[in-house]
Structure 1
């Protein structure tokens, strides 16, 4: 038996890992965490053999989790990083699952665990430090959203704007609108602030998708490239002024 811990802030991603791992009775899940801080506590307490670790988590990223580990489990990253980070993982013999991944890709990662040695702790720390120095990479290039009865990954750059829908959010792209399991506050932490800015308590925009801005004495309206008009509330006016000339 090998002990497994899952650290991922996305509930659907944890559910998918549970489903895939259920086909491997020798791999026993002993704990799950939806954030980095709790994940570190679990690893230190239960000393797992294997950790499935998401990289893009608000608050504390998976790389920061890796940097704080005092044990050296076998780590399989799940990531929406671009090719640069994938190359770094391969050079350091660290396995990864590039979201969205298939059952076949998951199976290959598990098969590699059988022949892979645990990475020395200093090697894992060095990898984390190397990637953390390039802060632009902590923001996901893709994000999982609901589409009917399945989850799909869409490029974050394709999102035009986002509006809150209770505890969830609607992501508007040029093709269709998708439902995200993340609230708008979580997305504000998760997405690149150089690209996405909050303009209202219930909406965010992709500044690269702005078509025109209408200025009024106490508010602005922003027309996006798809024709949608998003209201800027008074408390967020300064953010828009910062990006206009």
Structure 2
């Protein structure tokens, strides 16, 4: 018998529960096992059904989804869903597998399904990589923002922080080491060229060699090129198969 991941849905809105049930049904390794319309009913059903995964709304009457999950002694894996990105940091603090923004498209849910599939098939349970069409949660000292991965052009280490350059807004100094980003970003298209730099290969427009030991990489959507040294240039030539 193949992989079966048993999923329980908790959402106070009946239409949202129906949508989630249909999305679950599009993936053969996911099995819908029940649904609850609030925390009180959910607590009873979780004990009875012992789901592998909770697909959990955040804003509900009574206990929120975050409060409900935090109260569980032996919690299953959890995917939170909300119409607001505000709660994402709290969700990932609780080791959420993913955070879905409503309305959830089939394509976005497919990324979540793949993350769950890898999570339940990896023996050592490593960090789960995002899919190329995911959004990534980036937290700075001032704000938290979700960035679509296709618009992220490069990431540059700055000590314990990382400069994230996105084509839709100014650079963000993220409170995360570049190695942590490397663990969760899909590769390809994100390639680490050296100890301090990751670029999105799908945004490479041209490479201009400055000398034997360096070059400029022009990324679509950014006005300024990225300067790279000999090690990074050699790695870029390897992955792009260019002279």
- Using the size of structure 2 for normalisation, the TM-score is 0.49
- Using the size of structure 1 for normalisation, the TM-score is 0.49
More helix by share: 1
Greater relative CO, 1 or 2 (CA 8 Å, sep 6+): 1
